[in-house]
């Protein structure tokens, strides 16, 4: 029961809709036995719930459609250097992954993300799309500076059958 409570609290911190409790339990039953640790189970649960996570971010009428007819979601992505820097700073702790970066690097990265979000904001709801292995740690580190941003993995966007339209590329430049 403690593991389930930890998972639910982690999902709530990231504003994952918890209304589909049967779906949440199904994800635990499906992925729990094979999960290496709570973090792996957490990410597997998010992936199973991707449609619901992404659906709440789509515009109400979802009039923006791609050429394939799928809904579009405006996304900020990271350049390869930015994502590699985050991956290199990734530390797995018992309470989940964190990014061990010096304060000046955190400030530089956050500034780059804020600029990219400001550029993309004209298109409506904006998400930060990044690799699954750094998504949770980036969410933990940058959520306070980007309180309205949703942090999604490329895999979640794909599982939700949404086309992520890149409008801004965040580039990290150290001062």
**Banded pLDDT at 64 (limits 50, 70, 90):** low
According to DSSP, the β-strands at 163-170 and 72-78 are parallel
According to DSSP, the β-strands at 72-78 and 126-130 are parallel
Q: Say whether pLDDT at 138 is over 90.
A: yes
CATH number assigned to the domain covering 72-170: 3.40.50.12790
**Distance between CA 40 and CA 30 in Å, rounded?**
13
Q: Say whether pLDDT at 110 is over 80.
A: yes
For residue 1, the model assigns a pLDDT of 64
Do the Cβ atoms of 133 and 90 come closer than 8 Å?
yes
For residue 140, the model assigns a pLDDT of 92
**Distance between CA 93 and CA 95 in Å, rounded?**
5
Q: Say whether pLDDT at 45 is over 90.
A: no
Q: Which residue has the higher pLDDT, 171 or 67?
A: 171
Q: What is the mean pLDDT of the chain?
A: 82
Q: What are the residue ranges spanned by the domains of the chain?
A: 2-48, 72-170
Mean of pLDDT values over 45-53 = 83
| Residue where the block lists tokens 């980036």 | 138
Mean of pLDDT values over 134-154 = 91
């Amino acid at each position: 029961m403690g593991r389930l409570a930890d998972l639910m609290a982690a999902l709530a911190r990231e504003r994952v809709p918890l209304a589909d409790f049967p779906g949440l339990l199904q994800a635990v039953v499906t992925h729990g036995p094979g999960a290496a640790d709570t973090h792996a189970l957490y990410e597997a649960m998010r992936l199973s719930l991707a449609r619901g996570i992404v659906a709440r971010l789509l515009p109400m009428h979802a009039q923006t459609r791609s050429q394939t007819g799928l809904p579009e979601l405006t996304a900020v992505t990271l350049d390869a250097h930015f994502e590699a820097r985050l991956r290199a700073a990734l530390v797995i702790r018992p309470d989940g992954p964190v990014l061990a970066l010096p304060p000046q690097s955190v400030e530089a990265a956050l500034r780059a993300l804020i600029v990219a979000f400001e550029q993309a904001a004209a298109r409506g709801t904006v998400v930060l799309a990044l690799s699954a292995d750094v998504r949770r740690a980036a969410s933990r580190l940058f959520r306070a500076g980007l309180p309205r941003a949703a942090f999604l993995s490329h895999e979640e966007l794909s599982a939700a059958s949404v086309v992520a339209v890149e409008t801004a590329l965040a580039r990290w430049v150290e001062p």
